[in-house]
Structure 1
C-alpha cells in the first residue's frame, strides 16, 4: 500500500497502548503522535488519557516498523516501558484526563535495538484557532481513530477509523470545561483516540475554502445510562472485560472529547519544565 493520501497517513498516527492492570486483567487503549514547534525546536510526543497509564502494573506501545521511510506493513515492534506509569507527564490538573510522553527517548530505545519506527505525527498547527472554531457549524462530521473494544487489524497492525458528528458545538465549552461531545460509537479501547474534522474536499458548508483537516481533541469518556435512568460520564474503560463502571449500565454513544488546545497547553507546560 502506498501511503499517498491524508487518510492513509492518519492510519499511522496512532499507536496501541497495551497495559496489564493491577487486578491482572489486560487493557488496551489508543495513543497518537503529535509534533509541536516550540522555542527550542520541534518536539514530538505521544498523547493519551491519564486513566490509561495511571496505576497500572506494566505497559507498552505497539508501533509499525519502517525502513527507508516506508512502513513494513504488519511488522510489529512493541516497546515495553520500564516503570510505565512514571514515564508519563500528567496534566497538572488531576481532573484533566491527559498524559504525554516524549518520542525522542522511545526512538532512541528502538534504534538501540536496530528498529526504525514508522509513524505520521499530526502538527499542533492543525489545532483550529478561535476564528476558525467560530466558523464551524453547530453540527460537523468528525473522524476518530483507535482500537475500539481492542479491535484492530492485528495482521497489518492498522487501527479502526470511525465517523460521527459533533453533538455539542466545538466552539462552546460543554458544562463550562474545555470539552465537547460527539455522537459516535465510543467503546473500551477508544480512550485516547484523536478526533478530527476531516473534509478532504476542503470546502465549508458556507462555500468558503477551509483546510481539509483540523485536530479537534482527544476522546476521554463515554456517557452511560444508569439503572435509575440517570446519565453519567465515565472514563472509557481500558479493559474489554466487565468492570465496575459498566455494571448495570448502558453506553449511549455519546463521547466526551477534551479540546486540542488543552493538549497544546500540556505540551507547552512540559517544554517549560524539561529540555531534551
Structure 2
C-alpha cells in the first residue's frame, strides 16, 4: 500500500502502547506523535493519557519499521522504556488527563539498534484554537484512530479507524472544562486516541473533492450508566478487566481539547529549553 493520502497517513500517526499493570494484568492503549514548532526549533512528542501510563510496572511503544523511506508492513519494533511511568511528563494540573514524552531520545535509541522508525506526525498548527472552534457547527463528523479493546491488524501493525459525530459543540467547554463529547463507540484501548474533525471541501467538483482533518483532541473517558438516570464519565481503561461490572457504556466519549495538548508541550519546552 502506497502512503499517498491524508487518510493513509493517519494510520501512522498512532503508536500502540502495551503495558503490564501493577496487578500483573496486561493492558493496551493509544498514543500519537505531534510535531510542534517552538522558538528554538521543531520538536516531536508522543502524547497519551496520564491514566494510561501511571501505575504501570512495565511499558513499551510499538512502531512500524522504515525501509527505504517507506513503512515495512508487519515489521514490528517495540521500544521498552525503563521506569515507564516516570519517563512521562504529566500535565501539572492532575485533573487534565495528559502525558507526553519527547520522541527524539527514543528514536535515537532505535537508531542505535539499527532500526529506523516509520511514523507521521500531527502538525500542531492543525490543532483547533478558539477562533477555529467557533467556525464549526454544533454537529460535526469526527474520526479517531487507535486500538479499541486491543483490536488491531497485528500482521500489518495497523490501528483501527472509527467515525462518529460531536455530541456537544466544540466551541463550548463541556462542564466548564476544555473538553467536549463525541457520539462514538469508545472502548478500552481507545484511551489516548487522537480525534479529528473531518470536513469535505464541498466547493470543489466532485471528482476533485478534498478531505480536511483538523486535530480536535484526545479520547480520555467514556460514559457509563451505573443505574437509572445516573451517568458517570470514567477514564477509558487500559484493559477489559478493569471495566465497571454491571455498568453499561452509552457510546459517549469525553475528549480533551487539542489546545490542552499544545499547552502541555509548551509547558515542557518552557521548563527544559528556556
**Same fold per superposition (TM over 0.5):** yes
Give how far 1:5 is off: 0.4
- 1:147-200 residue CA offsets vs partner (Å, 9 max, x unmatched): 00000000000000000000000000000000000000000000000000122x
SS of the counterpart of 2:188?
coil
Q: Which residue of 1 aligns with 2:267?
A: 269
Q: Which residue of 1 aligns with 2:8?
A: 8
TM-score (norm 1): 0.95
CA distance 1:36–1:203, shift in 2 (3 Å): farther
CA contact (8 A) 2:194 2:217 kept: yes
Q: Which residue of 2 aligns with 1:191?
A: 191
SS of the counterpart of 1:226?
strand
Can you give the 5+ residue segments of structure 2 that lack an aligned partner in the other structure? 204-208
Looking at structure 1, the residues matched to 228 and 50 of structure 2 have their Cα atoms a distance apart, in angstroms, of 29
Looking at structure 2, the residues matched to 186 and 71 of structure 1 have their Cα atoms a distance apart, in angstroms, of 28
CA contact (8 A) 1:141 1:198 kept: yes
Q: Which residue of 2 aligns with 1:116?
A: 116
Q: Which residue of 2 aligns with 1:223?
A: 223
The alignment covers a number of residue pairs equal to: 269
Looking at structure 2, the residues matched to 135 and 34 of structure 1 have their Cα atoms a distance apart, in angstroms, of 23
- 1:37-85 residue CA offsets vs partner (Å, 9 max, x unmatched): 0011000000000000001101000000002211001100000000000
Q: Which residue of 2 aligns with 1:43?
A: 43
Residue 256 (structure 1) aligned to one of 242, 254, 257: 254
Structure 1, 157-166 or 225-234: larger mean CA deviation: 225-234
Are 2:65 and 1:86 aligned? no
CA contact (8 A) 2:186 2:253 kept: yes
CA RMSD of aligned residues (A): 1.6
Q: Which residue of 2 aligns with 1:173?
A: 173
Looking at structure 1, the residues matched to 43 and 248 of structure 2 have their Cα atoms a distance apart, in angstroms, of 40
CA contact (8 A) 2:140 2:198 kept: no
TM-score (norm 2): 0.95
Q: Where does 1:143-158 land on structure 2 (aligned, <5 Å)?
A: 143-158=143-158
SS of the counterpart of 1:79?
strand
